[in-house]
């Protein structure tokens, strides 16, 4: 059944429906050149360059600290939504993401994007020379009023990373290897409500979307 994202992959019980993993990985890596660039870098090299399309579309990454490793990734909601037409044209979202739905479901859409680009960031870090044995990854978004809000966070080990078949990665594969995943309670409520809104909106157009509960397999929520 169709959803807001192109039906490239079957449904996975993850945070949200997948988009085009290969496209987003390419857009997220430094220089957009794939893992060869990442493998030539030494930890703690940036996991996303400012010249990437992902950065232009509102994503920033930084090391909150390097020992122990903690990576923070942030989506600027205003920049992200302003570039939605470009993301639709690039194939990350399909044309069902109308301007009305963009206004109605910004958290749903930001959540979808973070699920898609997160594997690229994780892979970039753990293929650096001298990468740590473990790293904590945390997603945030910056609201139009400038407020910074948590989304999701998790731990990943180099050992779990190395067991993944990155050459044939399917959407959702990486999150099954993540440890201690936590979804912020407020963000959880927002995404789930918007998932319901999106389902209702698409049903009115004759579509019957298959949208799994966004937080059904991601671990506990924050208090």
- The mean pLDDT of 146-175, rounded to a whole number, is 92
Q: Are strands 59-66 and 148-157 parallel, antiparallel or unpaired?
A: unpaired
Q: What is the predicted pLDDT for the residue at 221?
A: 55
**Rg for the chain (alpha carbons), in Å?**
16
Full DSSP string of 18-58: ---HHHHHHHHSGGG--HHHHHTSBSS--SS-TTSHHHHTT
CA proximity to 201, closest of 92, 101, 85: 101
CA proximity to 57, closest of 42, 32, 78: 78
Instruction: Kindly list the domain boundaries of the chain, sorted by start residue.
Output: 21-204
Q: How many Å apart are CA 80 and CA 59, to the nearest integer?
A: 8
In total, the chain counts a number of residues equal to 223
Q: What is the predicted pLDDT for the residue at 9?
A: 29
Three-state DSSP class for residue 199? helix
Q: Which of residues 94 and 194 earns the better pLDDT score?
A: 194
Q: What is the predicted pLDDT for the residue at 222?
A: 57
Cis peptide before 68 (omega within 30 of 0): yes
> In angstroms, how far is CA 123 from the centroid of its own chain?
13
Q: What is the pTM of this model?
A: 0.79
Q: What is the predicted pLDDT for the residue at 205?
A: 65
Q: Which of residues 129 and 24 earns the better pLDDT score?
A: 129
CA proximity to 115, closest of 205, 210, 28: 28
Cis peptide before 66 (omega within 30 of 0): no
Q: How many CA atoms lie within 13 A of 50 on its CB side?
A: 1
Q: How many CA atoms lie within 13 A of 15 on its CB side?
A: 35
pLDDT digits (tens, 9 = 90+) for 78-108: 999 999 999 888 888 888 888 999 999 999 9
For the record, the structure tokens of 212 come out as: 């799994």
Q: How many Å apart are CA 217 and CA 104, to the nearest integer?
A: 24
pLDDT digits (tens, 9 = 90+) for 35-82: 334 447 999 999 988 788 888 999 999 999 999 999 999 999 999 999
């Amino acid at each position: 059944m169709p959803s807001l994202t192109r039906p490239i992959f079957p449904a996975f019980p993850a945070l949200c429906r997948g988009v085009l993993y290969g496209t987003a990985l390419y857009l997220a890596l430094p220089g957009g050149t794939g893992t060869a660039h990442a493998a030539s870098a030494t930890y703690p090299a940036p996991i996303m360059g400012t010249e990437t399309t992902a950065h232009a579309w509102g994503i920033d990454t930084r090391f909150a600290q390097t020992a122990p490793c903690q990576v923070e990734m942030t989506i600027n909601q205003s920049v992200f939504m302003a570039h939605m037409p470009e993301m639709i044209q690039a194939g990350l979202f399909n044309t069902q993401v109308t301007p009305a739905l963009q206004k109605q479901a910004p958290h749903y859409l930001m959540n979808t994007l973070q699920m898609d680009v997160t594997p690229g960031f994780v892979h970039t870090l753990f293929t650096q020379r001298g990468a740590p044995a473990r790293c904590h990854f945390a997603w945030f978004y910056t609201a139009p009023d400038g407020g910074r809000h948590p989304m999701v966070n998790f731990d990943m080990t180099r050992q779990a990373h190395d067991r993944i078949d990155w050459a044939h990665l399917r959407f959702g594969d990486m999150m099954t290897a993540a440890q201690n995943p936590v979804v912020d309670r407020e963000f959880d409520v927002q995404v789930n409500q918007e998932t319901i809104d999106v389902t209702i909106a698409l049903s009115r157009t004759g579509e019957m979307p298959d949208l799994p509960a966004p937080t059904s397999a991601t671990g506990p929520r924050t208090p």
